Structure formats: structure tokens, C-alpha cells
Structure 1
């Protein structure tokens, strides 16, 4: 790594999950648009061919005149090859296949449990975590062995437990988890300013917020734009749109997209607790009792969607075909900013700038009342070779109780996964707010879900 004319050359990035057909292409585009960085990206994936296809796609970018950041991409066959010499490690993997995900999301529906995402909490999030944790144990051990000083950026869900596992296995690791959910809430606040005050063209980054919570269950207790306190405005905004919802764009778009909502869950949580719930409705709903996920009719009432795994399967096939076209040169990667902050974080960590953003890190006291070491999501200051959490304070007791239940449950899941303790895992399972069914039915569901994912649980008594 060399510093030349306010640029960093020769940067080495290891991408675990380098055969990705979404995140990898976003990273390529973001790197191509950034003129202050260049270097090598080593792509590792359990499916080597997909990583090799991305090698071809990535290297084709450097030949284009409209590309500012020149990078060399190389598919590798082992974690050792990917990690050796890495300055940064990016992790974006799918723990298992869509077959296991279909069990995570849809098997609980037979017991009246509905999940809008199924990747963080709820029965699906828990079983996904049991698959992911052993993978992250291997990744953490490999980073410790081959690139102990690298900065590690995690994008995989369940974000909290994946990041937590890295630190449990390698306490000195320099890892953090990134999620864009808070960004969406900042954009909503910008739209609120236009709607209520006629202030247009407010950038997300101009909305200053204090973030507290855990991934996908974050809260904002302070928000401002220049000299305007946004909390009283948000109350007005929530009351105005509570019944019909608010969409920044085409009205009713939530009915045509599995990923959109009318923000009614956000507004309801604000009216209940007085804080801004800072994630998308699909995620927020899963952390609560089945107020919003009682059944599909209730979900429609709250104006968001259940995302079926069948859609993900169909979308994957579209991406496979797109990947083939990109690798053959029949189509080009579209150069546009992904909206993620990974590249800016890298720039800050190599000393090119400083900035504050929300990330997932072990609690060092930045969140009061949460166990030290548990992974929380707050703001942090990024600067040269340093991430310093911003002291976020404490949530009100009623909201703290909601968050703490999940914090302790996630710690239980981690312990169960590391010790292959089925009984302990089940206790976490029935302690999830969505598992609001008789214990006998819960045990039956739990056993079926483990049976469907046992290929990824070696050593378990299933």
C-alpha cells in the first residue's frame, strides 16, 4: 500500500463470497467510481466458477475509459490465498442455500408464524444463525492466521451474530458490520422536511441522528437538520400519515414490491414509544410480538410485504443469466453508486478522510445498559486505522427491555451454536416474540427446521 498524490495505491482486498451476483457487482461499481483508491481484489467463494466469472467481469472494468479506479481482480481457491496480505476483508456470503432459507421462512407458516424476511430474528433468523456461526468460526480463525491486522467489513445477516462470532473467536480482530437500514430512515426524514416544511433537496448525510440498538432494530432519539430539531416534526409526520402511510414516490408501491413499505410500522412504534424506529418495516415487525405479522391480512393492513423465497429463487436465475452476459462482454456493469458506505469507510481507515456513520461493533460502553461485548449498532468515528464508537447513551427503559430481550437471546444462540447444544438453542427459539405458540408445537417446528438444515450442523444430535 502506497500513498501518492493523495491517493492510495496497491491496496489488497479479500472478498469472501466473491462469487456474489449482487454485493460483488456493487463493490466493483463503487471501486470503479473512486479515483483515490486502486489495487487488487482477491475473490474467494465455495463456488469457484462464480468467483472466476466475477474476475472476468471486474477486470473488464479497468479497460473502460469511464472508470476512475483501476483494480485487478483474481479468483482464488482457498481462504489462505485470499487472506494472505489483505489490508481489508469483505464478507458477504449466504449461509446455506435457498432450500434451507425456504424452510427458515415458510415452514413456520404451517404453525401460524409469519416472517417478512427471516434472516435476523424469529425462527428463521435463529436457524440461519446456527448455520452461519460455524462458517464465521472458520473465517475468524483464518483471518487470525493469515491477515490478523486487516480491517474486516461484514455484510452478512444475521449481522449481529456474524460480527459477534468474529470477535468471540478472535478478540483482537478489527471487524465491523455494515447495514443501510438507518440510511433509509434518514431519507424518510429528508422527505418529511419536504412534505411538512417545503425544504427540498436535503441529502441523507445532512440529517444528523443518534443511533442506538441492534442491527435491524435500531432507534433514533435525536435527529436534526441544520438548526431544526426533527423529533417534534416527526410526531406531526407520524400522526399525519399514520392511517394511510407515507411513500416517497408512487402511492401503493408497497403492493408491487416485496421490499417497500408505507412506513406504518415505523409510525406505530413511534406513537407507542416516542422514538424513531430506524429500520425498514419488514425488519422491525419481526422483533415485536405478532402485532404486525399475525397473518397475511394483518401484514397488508400495515402496508408491507412478506418476501417469499420463491421470488429470491427466480431473481437468482435472472442474476445468473446477467452474470453470463457480463462475463461474455454482452453487457457492461452499470457504473452507479450503490448507496453503501464501504468505500468511504476504507478511505477513512487508510487516512484519506474522517467521517461518522452507523456501524455494528462490540459494546465498549457506547450503549449503556447493554452487556459489554454484545454487538450493538451506534454511530462511530472512522479515521486513519481507527474506529471509535460514539457514546450513544441509553434507551428508555421500555424500549431497552425490547432490545435487551433480543440481545440476551442472541447471546444464547451464539453459545448454543458454539457448543452444539440443542436444548439451549430451543430455549432461545421459544423465547423469541414471534414464536407465540404452545411449547409442544414449538418443539415440533424446531426439530423439523433443524432436520431441514442438518447438513450445515455437523456434530449436532439431530
Structure 2
């Protein structure tokens, strides 16, 4: 495709969380193989050394003969400098340290509450949100001052409340949230077609879906391949593999990786509600009552998914730091690897280099019926030049809508609690959560107070 926008060769992208050793490296890889974009990436991070290291890694990558993207990476020391006049802002941060995450995920286990992720809902999601909302309020105010016309792409969890906070702090912001969980469900159906129905070369993008819900609790009421309705095939799949499971990778891989599953929760929810749940099992489990999928580690194992421990994250962080050192010193070559994310495709579409329809998180303008306007929801949207328009997705069936709205309203409560520094309201949100409400209220209150104290240093102005 001929370049239609000269700006695409002189872009400025600001990466907040630019010291990242995951998402930032993924962006570098995607930009490196994209011939139609070029410019400068400003890396800002409260860990300035990590941002500087990523600038070294990115600039070394740009000099390689197999790289077609012409990018300069700069580490900047202030958020205002990073944002001044930028075209796109990408946010991917960790609110707090792994010690706070350890409390989020593992302290509730003392009360019999197990969490497979702990970053979106449940006790862990609540505490993470309370830490995140002040940070995102500050980011939004800086964007309003220094880059009000920039497009803002969020990858941080809790996704819903991150995007919701950006709009609460700066209503005129042009922000949206990206999540790849729906992609995994498309890949599941592509594998179903390939392995069980003899189709060849089915890509996940070939599976057309209608997306309704909220982040990590998304649902599909339509799925087609080349015009063929996939619901009857998925229904057969969910019945046939209800107990055994059907994995994207080799059979039994869920036992080797806490990020994998056998999709038994996918199938169980389909058989209960008649819609395709379109997030990973470890996320879906946390939105449901505790005794469904997360009653105890044995129950988790029986559903063939895993609990991602903070010890694993600590070990992984050490390994990534060691890898970063080797990349900075030139002892290891950066591996160009397609991430499967669509951030670069979105940027291209917003610049007028084609169109893109995909799932994103946006405030509800009516694209999802039965959910309050203004609440952040996940549906498909159409990206085109300087335009992002949500696709009207319809309304979830009453039984599923009741499940979704419980979390929508609770997330709105969490936002209000964080913005007003209201501890009693935050506790009410904890008591309303399906996981925390599964234990006696006095125990839930005690758990909340202990978790609150552990994260209080990130909550300025609270009692």
C-alpha cells in the first residue's frame, strides 16, 4: 500500500512504562518489521535506568540490516517532556511492586480465596485498582496539558478502570484499551476448524465475531468463518470436550504453564449460558462465585488451569533483568518475533493507512445495551483515519447481562471510592465482589483492612 500520510514517517510515540521488559520489547519488535512507519519513541519510566537501557536496546535494533522500521529511541526523565506534542501515547505500567502484588494475590488465600490472576476483579483487582487510579488521574491531567490531541493506547490492568479513569480525569481524551484475550478464543475456534473439520490455513483473523461485555469477561453471540455459523460446531466441541478439555497447545500443556488452560471453563460457561465466553479460563474464573472454579487448588486443577503465583513473577523478573543486561551489553541479539498484538495496526489505521475492525475498551456510547452509559465496555470498533467508532454490538441475554452488570456497577463503585478516598465505599465494593462475598462479611472486612494497610503507601490522602 502506498503511503498516504507523510506524518507516518515522522511520528512521535510516547511509552509510559518505557522500562518494560515485556510490552515495550514487543512494541520494538512490531515497529522493527513495519515499513510504513518511522519516527521517535520516547521512553518514560519511574525506573529511569530501565528506560535508558531500553533506549540502548531499541537503537541497536534499529541499526540492524534486517530491520525495516526506522526508529530512534529516547529515554526521557519527566512525564511532561515525554508527552509534549506527541502523536500517540502507550501506557503499560505495574502499579506498585511485586510485594504489593504478593499481598493482592496471596493474602486472601488465608481466608480461602484463591485468585488465578488477581489483577482485574476479586480482592486483588480491587487493591490494584486503588493504587492505579491516582496514577492514571495524574497521567490523564498531563495528557490534557501537553498532548490533548494524542491517541492513547492502554495495556495496563485493571483495563476497565484504567480507561475509565482516563476519561473521568480528562473527558476529551482519545483513549482506548487493548486486550488480546478475544484473540485466544478466535485461535481456539481456528484450531477447532483445522483439527476437527479439515479446514486448512485458518487464521484467527478469519474468525469474525461480535464482542459484548467488559474486559476479561467478554462474550460472543456470533462467530462465523467465511460466512459459516460456528455456533453449532462450538456447541458440539463444548459437549465433546467438556471433561477432557481442548487445548491450543499440546495436550497437557496447562500443567506446565499457569498461563495455559484446557478451556474447560469456556465450555462450561457455554453449556450454561449458550454464549461463547471470550477470555482465558484463568480470567473468567475470577468473575464467577468462588466455589465454581476457584474453591481450592484441587478444584482449580480439576478444571485444568493454574494459579499464577507471585513467586513465578519474581523469578521471571530476575530472568528478564538478566536478559536486559545481555541485550544492553550486546551479548545477546534481540529476537524479532511477531507479537500478535494490534497496536501498530491501530496506529496505521488512525493515520489513514487502511482500516481495522477489532475489539477495544471504550466508554459505552450505546454500543452495548443493558449497561450504563459511560461505563467502559469491550466491543468491536472500527479504526480509520483520525477516527475510532464503536460497533453497535447489541445486548447480552438477561442471565449473562446480570453477571456482567454486577461487575460494571462494582467497578464504578471502586472508581468513586478511589476518587473520593472513601475507605467505606472501597470496603463495600469488596463485599459486593463474587469472590469476597463468598466468605462471611466479618472475615471479608478483616481481609480488606489488612490488604488496605499493605498498599496504603500508594494511597495518598486516605485515612
Report the TM-score when normalising by structure 1.
Answer: 0.98
Q: Give the aligned partner of residue 49 of structure 2.
A: 49
Cα distance in structure 2, aligned partners of 1:334 and 1:327: 13
Distance 1:136 1:162 in 2: 7
Other structure's SS at 1:65 match: coil
Report what 1:412 is aligned to: 413
Deviation at 1:228, TM superposition (A): 1.1
- Which residue number corresponds to residue 91 of structure 1? 91
Q: Is the 8 A contact 2:361 2:378 kept in 1?
A: yes
Report what 2:137 is aligned to. Answer: 137
* Counterparts of 2:196 and 2:249, CA distance in 1: 16
- 5 Å-filtered alignment, 1:380-399, equals 380-399=381-400
Other-structure match for 2:444:
442
- Which residue is equivalent to 1:180? 180
Partner in structure 2 of residue 124 of structure 1: 124
Answer yes or no: is the 8 Å Cα contact 1:293–1:299 preserved in 2.
yes
Correspondence for 1:339 = 340
Instruction: Give 1:373's aligned residue.
Output: 374
Aligned twin of 1:228: 228
Partner of 1:312: 313
Deviations 1:387-436, CA, capped at 9 Å, x for gaps: 00000000000000000000000000000000000000000001000011
| C-alpha distance in structure 2 between counterparts of 1:251 and 1:292, whole Å | 21
Structure 1 residues 433 and 4: CA distance shift in structure 2, 3 A:
closer
> Contact (CA 8 Å) 1:196, 1:237: kept in 2 or not?
no
Per-residue CA distance 1:88-126 (angstroms, 9 max, x = gap): 000000000000000000000000000000000000000
Could you tell me which residue of structure 1 aligns to residue 422 of structure 2? 421
Alpha-carbon displacement from aligned partner over 1:55-106 (angstroms, at most 9, x marks no partner) = 1000001110000101000000000110001000000000000000000000
Residues 1:433 and 1:5: Cα distance change in structure 2 (over 3 Å): closer
Alpha carbons of structure 1 residues 58 and 370: separation in structure 2 relative to 1, 3 Å: same
Secondary structure at the residue paired with 2:210?
Answer: strand
Aligned partners of 1:334 and 1:347: how far apart in 2? 23
Equivalent position of 2:355 in the other structure: 354
Deviates more, 1:124-133 or 1:243-252: 243-252
Cα distance in 2 between the residues matched to 1:248 and 1:454 = 40
Map of 1:190 onto structure 2: 190
Distance change >3 Å, CA 6–CA 206, structure 1 → 2: farther
3-state SS of paired residue (1:202):
coil
**C-alpha distance after superposition, 1:182-217 (max 9, x if no partner):** 000000000111233111210111000000000000
User: Are residues 1:254 and 2:251 paired?
Assistant: no
Contact 1:6–1:352 (CA under 8 A) maintained in structure 2: no
Q: 1:5 to 1:209 in 2, by over 3 A?
A: closer
Q: Give the 3 Å change call, closer, same or farther, for CA 240–6 of structure 1 in structure 2.
A: farther
What corresponds to 1:271 in structure 2? 271
For residues 333 and 44 of structure 2, the distance between their equivalents in structure 1, rounded to whole angstroms, comes to 22
8 Å Cα contact 1:9-1:38 kept in structure 2? yes
Residue 333 of structure 1 deviates from its aligned partner by 1.2
For residues 38 and 54 of structure 2, what CA distance do their matches in structure 1 show?
17
Q: Deviations over 1:244-271 (max 9, x none)?
A: 0011332110001010000000000000
SS at match of 1:377: strand
Contact 1:413/1:425 (CA < 8 Å) preserved in 2? yes
* Structure 1: gaps (5+ residues): none
Instruction: State the match for 2:76 in structure 1.
Output: 76
Which deviations, in whole Å up to 9, do the C-alpha atoms of 1:314-356 show, x marking residues without a partner? Answer: 0000000000110111112111111100000000000001010
Q: TM-score, normalised by structure 2?
A: 0.98
Q: Once structures 1 and 2 are overlaid, which stretch shifts more, 169-178 or 198-207?
A: 198-207
Report the CA distance between 1:6 and its aligned residue: 7.4
Are residue 400 (structure 1) and residue 418 (structure 2) matched?
A: no
Count residues in correspondence.
459
User: In structure 1, what is the Cα distance between the partners aligned to 2:253 and 2:358?
Assistant: 29
In the alignment, which residue of structure 1 is the partner of 2:454? 452
Instruction: Name the SS for the 1:453 alignment partner.
Output: helix
Matches within 5 A, 1:3-42: 8-42=8-42
Question: Quick check: 1:6–1:36 contact (8 Å CA) kept in 2?
Answer: no
Return the offset for 1:4. 6.9
